[in-house]
Chains A and B, each alone.
Chain A
Amino acid sequence: MFSNFDFDIIIRSLPYLFYDGMTFTLTLTALATLGGIVFGTALALMRLSGLAPLSILAAGYVNLMRSVPLVLMIFWFYFLVPYLGQWLTAASQPIRVGPFTSSLVTFMVFEAAYFCEIMRAGIQSIPRGQVWAAQALGMRYPTTMLYIVLPQAFRNMVPVLLTQTIILFQDTSLVYVLSITDFLGAASKIAQRDGRLVEMYLFAALVYFVISLAASHCVRLLQRRIAIVR
């Protein structure tokens, strides 16, 4: 079964896998998480604003994003982003967009819907008395949100946000459909070039497994620490 296993191919391709592939995957994960949280928080505030047009718009957006597969969204944005860029920059031609920008926009926009729901739950977990107290102290809406509600909501939701980031990390493997060299893309390219599918895919699975498992253990530890503080 493992008799004609070529472990050497894994060793030889390590620099390519990690330096090219994993760097892309981790950069994409980090930036998409940041963008997703910022955009998602804005959406959550819109949903909870009490202004009907804003909350309907945000709810529609979240439901739309959560109804379609990520793969379809990746294709959508791959073709849409050049036109969006043209519209934003008022250029005469659809602008050329690299695979990194395209996938980054996709993941930010897509994950924002999921981060929105997390932040909404976080904001709703804050007792209403705090908002009243802030208003009684003379704070306006932006001040109340920025200094009172959001910091606490964010802190309560850190474990959930991080769990979503782990899901996002695994989901970035789907940029494979655009033939991008992320970690899985790099493994797959070597696998197909050298006909070593078994070794490369098993190794890729192992790496994803170890990283995700370690990360979710850290989240669990963090959760326990936060739980003690409160």
Chain B
Amino acid sequence: MRTSFISLRRSLQVATRLAGVVLVVQMVGATLLAHDMWIEPTTFTPEPGDIVGARLRVGQDFIGDPLRRDDALIDQFVVQAAAGRKPLVGRPGADPAGLLRVDAPGLMVIGYRSHPSTVEQTAEKFSQYLKDEGLETIAALRARRGETGAVRELFSRCAKSLVLSGTVQPTEGDHALGFTLELVAEKNPYTTTAGQELPVRLTYEGRPLADGLVVAINRNNPTEKLSARSDANGRVHFRLPQGGQWLIKAVHMIPAKADAQADWESFWATLTFEIR
């Protein structure tokens, strides 16, 4: 990871401008060892009657490999709109993995919750990954336990995307879908313009998660990430400096349950949307 002089200066500017502790970090050249998974709709602003494809992407820096629909991985793949919640349909092996028809104007919350997958990593890679994802408490816990060996980890996905059809209604906003780890925009991003404050709340099992590293990445400028730690109420306040597509992410890790045949279990939350 590198912090260039320019972005350091900008980070200081941003930090002084904002009340919260928001840093801009430049991560070009760094190989991240674990990857985000997010929903990339074919459009964030469909017309009523349109079909929207929910593409699943795995990667980093908001650049992702396609993940085709795999029913063995899907726990929930749903859309929450004013009319209620319904599943996203799709054919096995399809990309976009899910499809929805926009029945009525309004804000739609698309959610994808996966079953866990496993990954095995060397101690060295795992330590680096804990550092990259801001999971120092886990690193400290490992050190206290004297764990130095290879690691078997369970991980699962909690991805959300906000899509707006028609004109924005002031009463509408993001919903909690009840995912294990979840990012909820506390203000409708479609009423937010570049530079305005956007509060985002991080919850784990329905309760606010404090001190979680939350990172915001812009599609056109993926190396200049904004990041902040959630406060005691699980909140971070981002002032997204430019319009376009944004990806907000957070990772939480816990010791795996005794019967899980793994050492650690992680949850990967993302939220994608577009602002003007």
Q: Do A and B come from one complex?
A: no
What is A's interface to B at a CB cutoff of 8 Å?
none
What is B's interface to A at a CB cutoff of 8 Å?
none
